[in-house]
A and B are shown apart, each in its own frame.
Chain A
Amino acid sequence: MGRVGFSSSRFRLSRDARLGLMLTLPVALIMGGLVFLPLLSTLFDSLYRVEPMKPGNPFVGLKNYATLMGDGTVTTAWGNTATYVVLAVAIETIGGLGMALLLNAITVGRRWLLAIMVLPWCLPPVVNAIIWMWIYNPSYGPLNGILMAMGIIDAPQVWFNDRETGLFLVSLVHAWRMMPLTAIILFAALQSIPEELYEAARLDGAGPLHRLRKITLPLIAPGLTIALSQSTVFAVNLFDEAWVLNGASMDTRSVIIQVYVTAFQNLKFSLGMALSVLAMVVSLAVSAIYVLRVYRETRFE
């Protein structure tokens, strides 16, 4: 029995393997052709001079990277992106945690509250940016109107005249869109905490803040890690909001806008590729935690 079973299961294995390869072949082809090959090409070509307006593609070593290091525009763009990451991740995490706790506590009409909450995330980022561009409008926007009615400012402000304000306002639009994702990740984590833990803590006389610190936060830590890494990756990749709200302006230009301008407006392909490699390294470094989790999980099987 053992021998026969063994050989027949071996036979089935190879048939299964063929089926598995067949079903994942399109995935491998599409990802290989449109992601992995271009990725390799980016890595290699960033060491050459690739510019459509200049003949030949000479090897230049790390010259593109050196050029980027010495370029003040690029440094400014990095500074802007760093600001976006800090502001957006902070706003999304604090606001998202608040939303998640609220949703976890509310049971009546939760489904619709979730739907309303997730709506900003579902809309095209460009439309979100336009909605907020009008809110920020110096002459007719409600932001000036509300702040003036509250007596915080006494004259309408041209918000994007000030670099720090501009960076904050772009971050706010981005956070408005991305916060629901953080909230949902944290809400999913909250839902998995058994109610008995709270009951026990309550019996021990632990107050709400104490329960939040001692039970909730430690138990949603894995969710929080995922939420933090995804919001960081998205903030590093911020493009749409800054581009629609303020174009290529240096005040709000993110690294990805810098890549776009370098490659597709100044037609310096290899310089853009070198910068996008750096952006990828940063993005990968901060999301390494996330990828490691995936790796660990798949290895166990």
Chain B
Amino acid sequence: MSARQVKRQLRRVGLGLGAAVLVLWSLAPIYWSFLTSITPPSGLVSEGLRLWPEAPSGEHFAKLFGATSLSQGNEVQSVWPQFSAAFANSLIISLLATVLTVILAAFGAWAFVRLPFPGKNVLFIAVVATLAIPAYTVMIPLYRLMIAAGLIDTYAGVTLIYVSAFLPLALWLMRSVYQAMPLSLEEAAWLDGASKLRAFVQVVLPLAGPGLVACGILTFLSAWGQFMVPLVFSPTLATKPLTVLIPEFVTRNYVDYGLMNAAGMVAIVPPMILVLFLNRFLVQGLMAGAGK
């Protein structure tokens, strides 16, 4: 082998090792949590580091999903009613926020790119600048506002707050999508007599599909993972999401790690599915949002 070939081989080994480290760094913690969720309570204490539990058990998941459950030999009330309500809340609020944000961003960003109107730049800069403002700066007045409006602990209230938090990024992203599209597409439709709005809806919007999907994924993930906002605005199970419920498992008499990890594993199913099936859009969206 020539020196050049050796060098190339070394490079490949190095890259392979790097990739292995990357995979391990990203997945090992999640895998460990998964192992914990299928290890029986006794095994959590006795077993050390291992790749698979001695006797996998669905005990923790049974505790989550069962009508009643056993804890240290005593029958205790199951967490299922709370867990299912929180799961539904997470799903409903995240989906509502995603749909609203994507629609507002789809039309709004196009207007920012293609239409001249007074106050356009000021509004856009002001909206994007809020990306740099910590959510907590507006949280306290927002809390008083929501109480006054009777919107605390309601889907409408929490969804609106999410939309206001995630809209700037969505607008920024959709703007870069429209900017990358040639104006000639729309112009052809205008020549056929279509109005600007009509040309947008019929010609531009379908082509913006990948961008809209990316936008939707980003918004959904942010909404699904949100913790600070619901901690304040969702005090009861009327709107309390999983992210707020799961840490509450700590405040019982002892920390039920098996249960928490099992609940965590359920909570990461929707994000996992999105990454598994739509990772192309997600990565493109992140690159478009960041690469400007």
Query: Residues of A at under 8 Å CB distance from B?
Result: 13, 16-21, 23-24, 26-28, 30-31, 33-39, 41-42, 45, 98-99, 102, 105-106, 111-120, 122-128, 130-132, 134-135, 137, 139-140, 142, 145-146, 149, 176, 180-181, 184-185, 187-189, 192, 223, 226-227, 230, 233, 236-237, 239-240, 243-244, 256, 259-260, 263-264, 269, 272-273, 276-277, 279-280, 283-284, 287, 290-291, 293-295, 297-299
Main DSSP-derived SS at the A contact region: helix
B95 beta carbon closer than 8 Å to chain A:
no
**B112 and A132 within 8 A (CB):** no
Are B129's CB and A291's CB within 8 A?
Answer: yes
Known: A17-B118, A185-B290, A243-B247. 19 other contacts (CB 8 A): A19-B196, A20-B120, A24-B111, A30-B160, A31-B127, A34-B161, A42-B141, A115-B276, A118-B286, A126-B227, A127-B246, A127-B264, A130-B261, A134-B33, A140-B44, A239-B136, A256-B134, A264-B143, A280-B134
Tell me the bound Cα distance from A299 to B163 in angstroms: 26
Q: Do residues A124 and B268 form an inter-chain contact, with CB atoms below 8 A?
A: yes
* Interchain CB contact under 8 A, A13 and B23: no
B interface residues, Cβ below 8 angstroms from A: 15, 18-19, 22-23, 25-27, 29-30, 32-33, 36, 44-45, 48-49, 104, 107-108, 110-112, 115-118, 120-121, 123-130, 132-145, 160-161, 163-164, 167-168, 171, 196-197, 221, 224-228, 231-232, 242-244, 246-247, 257, 260-261, 264, 267-268, 271-272, 274-276, 279-280, 282-283, 286-287, 290-292
Q: Which of B26, B268, B290 contacts A127 (CB 8 A)?
A: B268
Complex CA gap A58/B161 in Å reads 29
| Interface SS of B by simple majority | helix
Bound together, the chains give a CA A152 to CA B268 distance in angstroms of 33
Whether A181 lies near B120 (C-beta < 8 A) is no
A19-B111, A184-B283 given; A280·B127 CB < 8 A:
no
Q: Is the CB of A259 within 8 A of B136?
A: yes
Residues in A neighbouring B104, C-beta threshold 8 A: 26-27, 30
Q: With the chains together, A269 CA to B133 CA distance in Å?
A: 18
CB neighbours (8 Å) of A189 from chain B are 291
Across the interface, do A38 and B228 meet the contact criterion of CB distance under 8 Å?
no
CB pair B118–A279 under 8 Å, yes or no, is: no
A-B contact pairs, 30 of them (CB 8 A): A20-B112, A20-B120, A24-B117, A26-B104, A28-B123, A34-B161, A37-B145, A38-B138, A102-B18, A115-B282, A116-B27, A123-B271, A124-B227, A130-B261, A131-B30, A131-B33, A134-B261, A137-B257, A176-B25, A184-B287, A185-B290, A187-B287, A239-B227, A240-B228, A243-B247, A269-B140, A269-B144, A280-B137, A291-B125, A291-B129
Chain A residues with Cβ below 8 Å from B129 are: 291, 294
Contact of A118 among B126, B128, B144, B282 (CB under 8 A): B282
Contact A279 B136 (CB under 8 A): yes
* Residues of B close to A188: CB separation below 8 A: 287, 290-291
Contact flag A223-B130 (CB < 8 Å), given A276-B136, A276-B137: no
Other-chain residue from B128, B138, B280 in contact with A39 (beta carbon distance below 8 A) = B138
Residue of A nearest to B44 (CB): A140
- Bound-state CA distance A21–B197 (Å) is 13
Contact A130 B134 (CB under 8 A): no
Q: Are B108 and A27 in contact (CB under 8 A)?
A: yes
Most buried by A among B45, B161, B257: B257
Closest CB-CB distance, B269 to chain A, in whole Å?
10
Known: A20-B115, A24-B112, A223-B291. A31 touches B271 (CB 8 A): no
Residues of A within 8 A of B247 (CB): 126, 130, 243-244
Bound-state CA distance A122–B279 (Å) is 11
Cβ-neighbour of B225 out of A106, A123, A185, A259 (below 8 A): A123
A18 to B243: give the CA distance in the assembly, Å: 42
